Amino acid sequence: MKKISLVFRIWRQKSQLSKGQFVEYTLKDLSTNLSLLEALDKLNEELILNGDRPINFDHDCREGICGSCGFLVNGQPHGPKDATTICQLYLRNFKDHTTLTLEPLQTKTFPVIQDLVVDRSSLDRLIMSGGFCSDDVGKAPDANFFKVNQTDAFSSFQTATCIGCGACIASCRNASASLFVAAKLAHLGQLPQGQLLRSKRASQMKHQMLSEGFGSCSNNLDCEAACPKEISANWISWMNREDD
């Protein structure tokens, strides 16, 4: 088993109101089979044993499907590896004695809560603004009741893979939520079940983007590069044609 030593330069901030700073930690003899989050777990065990405050970071599934992890590794949301969430980033991707700078996703729409954890509730409000169905629809219909052709099903699924991590927003110089909202709209808007509220959903979500303070898309495509699910920025053009 290969072992490496890494220097972690981590943003430490006790609360939203306190001033933060980078603190350096060196971890030796780390198995390259560890994920970056597992290395942080190891560091936290040491901090706790020494009576220090552990580093706060978000995570849940650790399988790349929940979207809760996510911070900057050397300035890049989810780190240097394409199409990879932070929980799926393994130490074998780094050279021995590398310094890794870990800091929270940086945008005014995601205020820091503590250390690497940010408040992404603006994304929840965006989703809620899309509305929900409160009709009594009776029993669950058969899975094949609505015919969906293979092309539409595949295309819809490609956008449904958005995990709501917010990397697209944090990577955008305008903090635009366009890729996230486009993915959500395209996911539902390509299926027969999503047609009833399609236009209303688009206009409500676009309006919410503005009121939350997200910026406009200026086609830099950093969102697409940062997206761990490789969602294409072409969906933003698709979104712009919705609700017209």
Which residues form the interface with ligand SF4 (CB under 6 A)? 162-168, 179-180, 183, 226-229, 231
Q: CB of 179: closest distance to ligand FES in angstroms?
A: 17
Residues that bind ligand FES (CB under 6 A): 59-62, 64-69, 85, 87, 163
Cβ atoms of 73 and 36 within 8 Å: the answer is: yes
Query: 13 or 158: whose CB is closer to ligand SF4?
Result: 158
Q: CB of 210: closest distance to ligand FES in angstroms?
A: 28
Distance CA 125, CA 56 (A): 24
By a kind-dependent CB cut-off of 5 to 8 A, residue 85 interacts, out of ligand SF4, ligand FES, none, with ligand FES
**To which residue do tokens 């509305």 refer?**
131
Distance CA 155, CA 151 (A): 6
Distance CA 13, CA 113 (A): 8
Query: 87 or 105: whose CB is closer to ligand FES?
Result: 87
* Chain centroid to CA 87: 11
Distance CA 20, CA 109 (A): 18
Query: 102 or 223: whose CB is closer to ligand SF4?
Result: 223
Q: CB of 109: closest distance to ligand SF4 in angstroms?
A: 12
By a kind-dependent CB cut-off of 5 to 8 A, residue 168 interacts, out of ligand SF4, ligand FES, none, with ligand SF4
Q: CB of 58: closest distance to ligand FES in angstroms?
A: 7
By a kind-dependent CB cut-off of 5 to 8 A, residue 164 interacts, out of ligand SF4, ligand FES, none, with ligand SF4
Q: How much of the chain is helix, strand and coil, in % rounded to 5?
A: 35, 15, 50
Q: CB of 41: closest distance to ligand FES in angstroms?
A: 12
Distance CA 185, CA 204 (A): 11
Query: 27 or 66: whose CB is closer to ligand FES?
Result: 66
| 35: nearest Cα among 92, 102, 115, 80 | 92
Q: Is 11 left (phi over 0), alpha (psi -120 to 50) or beta?
A: beta
Cβ atoms of 73 and 89 within 8 Å: the answer is: yes
Query: 59 or 206: whose CB is closer to ligand FES?
Result: 59
By a kind-dependent CB cut-off of 5 to 8 A, residue 231 interacts, out of ligand FES, ligand SF4, none, with ligand SF4
